[in-house]
Amino acid sequence: MFERLKKDVQAVFERDPAAKSVLEVVFCYPGLHAIWLHRLASRLYRRGWVFWPRLISNVARFMTGIEIHPGATIGEGLFIDHGMGVVIGETAEVGNNVTLYQGVTLGGTGKEKGKRHPTVGDNVVIASGAKVLGSFKVGDNSKIGAGSVVLSEVPPNSTVVGIPGKVVVRDGCKIEQGAGGIDLEHNQLPDPEGEMLLCLQRSLLLLEKRITQLEEELKQHGAKGV
């Protein structure tokens, strides 16, 4: 148990440059508190209890602003940065060394029974405000950009942006990873919509140039006819 607590604290130091001391992390990081309370609630939930785990979950939400259903499966090394508004549903599965920022939702898309929440692989980074909805998998080492809405499976080593979320190809541009192998540079993401607008702008410029050439040719032909 103490070894796992130590890993939780270490995960904060590895991924948050603002962390200055163990005392600060243990007492002042709501994401850490939410994870610890979830472990207690999850242990009771898996023994068949319902009321007390849900009560602990609600106390954790009141204290931290983070709601993790007791039925969710959480791996080691989860780091919830700031965390206000984070929601993790009942059948969600979160792998090892995952990073979630504020406002992230791992939710379902309907009232169906059984597995209805996403499975998040190892070393995944989900940026602020992203919504991952449905019973599919987000592959290992993937990144989901801020504000994205992901509704379908994400292959490993992918970057997803947009609404609805799209897997974007990075054209061989690789961001250097740290020693832990987790890429936290979620601000360095491609912009497919911006690229599409640039393509449309280029096309319009070409069309305007061609129309100008045709108008000049018509004027020349008209002058010759006169």
Q: pLDDT for 56-98, tens place per residue?
A: 999 999 999 999 999 999 998 899 998 899 999 999 999 999 9
Peptide bond into 190 cis (omega under 30): no
Joined together, the tokens standing for residue 219 give 């004027």
* Angle of CA points 97, 103, 107, to nearest 5°: 75
CATH of domain 2-189: 2.160.10.10
- Residues in Cβ contact with 156 at an 8 Å cutoff, skipping those fewer than 6 apart: 121, 139, 140, 141, 142
d(CA 195, CA 170): 12
Return the pLDDT at 62.
93
d(CA 212, CA 195): 26
- Residues in Cβ contact with 45 at an 8 Å cutoff, skipping those fewer than 6 apart: 53, 70, 71
Residue with the two structure tokens 């508190």: 33
Q: Parse the chain into domains and list their residue ranges.
A: 2-189, 191-226
CB neighbours (10 Å) of residue 26? 15
**Low-confidence winner among 39-48, 65-74, 192-201, 212-221 (lowest mean pLDDT):** 192-201
Q: Give SS3 for 79.
A: strand
Confidence tier at 183 by pLDDT (50, 70, 90): low
pLDDT, tens digit, for every residue of 9-24?
A: 888 998 888 888 999 9
Q: Give SS3 for 14.
A: helix
